[in-house]
Chains A and B, each alone.
Chain A
């Protein structure tokens, strides 16, 4: 598969934030110091990852949720954890 472009990397990050982990993203308490965050990474090889400082968010659970979502999702096709 061809290398993923910067636009494609940004698009998959946005897709996961808005369509897959929107509940988790909405649960962040941004009034704390430091604020809670949930960041997304994607690279040219088609690998994605999640980064958070919110203790109650499980990276493993979010990966499981994305894996379930991935089946049948055209936007997630070709991406992997």
Chain B
């Protein structure tokens, strides 16, 4: 029975049973329309599905147990005590934890392959010296007289790292000076002079100075020993290319005496493998 727009009654109007505007139409038929209409989508009747609906202040949803997994793409369905979502391929159990790494699911905290890392987790970096290493002595090709200044290279060679990744190089170097002219000073390792001889030592790798030691004296190493204090520097390798490294010494002060001074260096480059 179709719905009829309710009539507006006039004062003193006589009401009849049948016909347009009659009680049967206005009351009986319209009540029947409200009571018996189907949800066909016709204006006024509503539809059997809800479109563009939003919910607020919802206290919860209760899923009826379908006793089966969903098989329609995009469907959430309860099967027993679990809620599953069918993504077109798999019925994903939304209540299960630690499912496969590529499946969205709840995660427990831990270090397993399908667990989640805690927000306050820490990484431990470990190192080992299992990579390549070189240890070498070197003398300069030229010598200084007491009155000379300038740069001499006492070590020049190439190093190749075993890996370009997760590797750093550690270079430790030392330098002393030998005298081969027996005159004012004895032959051998050069000790103190008056005034003291001062030097600047640089370690270079791949054409770049990695470390500079300035105002060194050769007679005052660690514990007053020979040469300069040993020092070190760490740096990344130049990939796995064969790369030039050099230890250079700059004589920056003079003495008036005749000497034949040759800088002698010792250098160790160790490869340190790191992992997290």
Nearest CB of chain B from residue A63's CB, rounded to whole Å = 17
Q: Do the beta carbons of B191 and A3 come within 8 Å of each other?
A: no
Q: Shortest distance in angstroms between A24's beta carbon and chain B's nearest beta carbon?
A: 11
Contact with B along A23-43 (1 / 0, CB 8 A): 001000011111111111111
Known: A41-B231, A51-B229. A14 touches B214 (CB 8 A): yes
Count A-B pairs with CB separation below 8 Å.
85
* B35-61 contact mask (Cβ, 8 Å, vs A): 1 or 0: 000000000000000000000000000
Does B146 make an interface contact (CB < 8 A)?
A: no
Interface residues contributed by chain B, number (CB under 8 Å): 28
- Among B204, B208, B215, B216, chain A packs the most CB atoms within 10 A around the CB of B215
* Closest CB in chain A relative to B83 CB, distance in Å: 54
Q: Which residues of A contact B210 (CB under 8 A)?
A: 43-44
| Contacting residue for A35 out of B196, B202, B214, B229, CB 8 A | B196
**In the docked arrangement, what's the CA distance between A53 and B227, Å?**
13
Q: Which of B17-25, B153-161, B217-225, B263-271 contacts A (4 or more CB under 8 A)?
A: B217-225
* Residues in chain A near residue B224, CB distance under 8 A: 34, 53
With the chains together, A38 CA to B215 CA distance in Å? Answer: 7
The reply to whether the CB of B235 lies closer than 8 angstroms to some CB of chain A is: yes
Shortest B121–chain A CB gap in Å is 28
CB neighbours (8 Å) of B214 from chain A are 10, 13-14, 17, 39-42
Q: In residues 194-246 of chain B, which contact A (Cβ within 8 Å)?
A: 194-196, 198, 200, 202, 204, 208-217, 219-221, 224, 228-229, 231, 233, 235
In the complex, are the beta carbons of A35 and B215 less than 8 A apart? no
A6 within 8 A of B: yes
Known contacts A34-B191, A34-B224: A43-B211 contact under CB 8 Å:
yes
Chain A, residue nearest B220 (CB): A34
Identify the A interface with B (CB < 8 A). 3, 5-6, 9-10, 13-14, 17, 25, 30-44, 51, 53
Closest 6 CB pairs of A and B: A6-B209, A13-B214, A9-B212, A34-B220, A34-B219, A35-B196
Can you spell out 11 A-B residue pairs with CB atoms less than 8 angstroms apart?
A9-B211, A9-B212, A10-B200, A34-B219, A38-B215, A39-B214, A39-B228, A43-B233, A44-B208, A44-B235, A51-B213
